[in-house]
Amino acid sequence: MLKPTPLRVISVVAVVGALLLVAIWQSGLMGQVCEKAAEQQNEHCATYNLAFVILIKLREFVDDNDGLITALATIVIAGFTAALWSSTRNLWLAGERQMTLIEANAAQQSIDMQASTRAAVRSADLAERSIAEAKAHSERELRAYVFPATSHLEFSETYEPIVVMEVRNFGKTPAYECTTWASIWVEAFPLPAHVTLIPAPRDLPMSKGSLAPGSHYGFSHKRDNLPVSVSEREMIQGGGAAIYTYGCINYIDCFGNPQSTKFKYFFRNAEASPARRGNLSQYMDGNEAT
């Protein structure tokens, strides 16, 4: 329903008045307009259509009350101006509220979009990590694992120590470019802190080969021209010293990743003799694998 305003009220009154005048004009009703001259006592009357009479009377009223009508017109104009100002102000306030609502919605949409983006990024990161973990788990399950399966110590007739071991692939896929090296020396037991284990020289000649799952190859290394002396054998048998062997097995798994198995064994508390085979035990550190 339309809200009544001064403009609408005046418009309705004007339309109704115009319609009434038209109706009176069409009805044929007549009326008289009488004028009295200043020097005469009698009035002079003329007959006109009633609508015309009403317009004449309205003009006379306006002429007789022009000050009042001017005041009323000023009041009406002031009312129109106030109504226009109020409408303009309400329109401005509505625009401000609309802009505030739009800004609030835009800010909320931005927050929601940022949250959605962060959630999507987290989901993507989780998916990537899951894929990486699944791949790593698959590789760990399927890759080659090459370790010494058995190991022992032998002595030549001149008491030169010889380490003998069986290297086996315990994994599910082949190992490629397998190499094994070892060093042997006599040292106090336990190893003094100053002892540094030196890796194999880069130019050390080593044979390479592939090792199928479950298969093995034999490896032996002799400390040439360095026999175990009598005093060393006595210390080894007494437990104050040990024969150590330290080395590494290097290979490449089927996924192209280089892998290695380091070993450190020792022999002590037993007679070092060419007539018997000595058991090797793992040392407390130095046995590591990738």
Looking at residue 41, its pLDDT comes to 64
Domains of the chain: 146-289 (2.60.40)
Task: Report how far apart the first and last C-alpha atoms of the chain are (Å, whole number).
Answer: 85
pLDDT, tens digit, for every residue of 4-20? 666 677 777 778 878 77
Rounded to two decimals, the pTM is: 0.59
Alpha helices in the chain (DSSP H): 6-27, 50-64, 66-142, 230-238
Q: Which of 71-80, 87-96, 224-233 has the lowest mean pLDDT?
A: 71-80
Find, among 144, 165, 147, the residue nearest to 258 by Cα: 144
pLDDT, tens digit, for every residue of 99-114? 989 988 998 999 989 9
> Which residues face 163 on adjacent strands?
153, 221
pLDDT band at residue 247 using 50, 70 and 90 as cut-offs: very high
Q: What gap in Å lies between CA 241 and CA 162, rounded to an integer?
A: 17
Q: Are strands 175-188 and 43-49 parallel, antiparallel or unpaired?
A: unpaired
Looking at residue 143, its pLDDT comes to 96
Contact, 143 vs 254, CB < 8 A?
Answer: yes
Of 133 and 1, more confident: 133
For residue 28, pLDDT beyond 80: no
pLDDT, tens digit, for every residue of 111-149? 989 999 999 999 999 889 989 888 889 999 999 999 999
Give the chain's mean pLDDT: 88
Of 39 and 23, more confident: 23
Instruction: Determine what percent of the chain is predicted with pLDDT higher than 90.
Output: 46
Q: What gap in Å lies between CA 208 and CA 179, rounded to an integer?
A: 5
Looking at residue 2, its pLDDT comes to 63
Looking at residue 35, its pLDDT comes to 73
Region class of 153: left (phi > 0), else alpha (psi between -120 and 50), else beta: beta
For residue 189, pLDDT beyond 80: yes
Q: Which of 168-177, 234-243, 274-283 has the lowest mean pLDDT?
A: 274-283
pLDDT, tens digit, for every residue of 31-86? 777 776 656 666 777 777 777 778 777 777 777 777 777 887 888 788 888 888 88
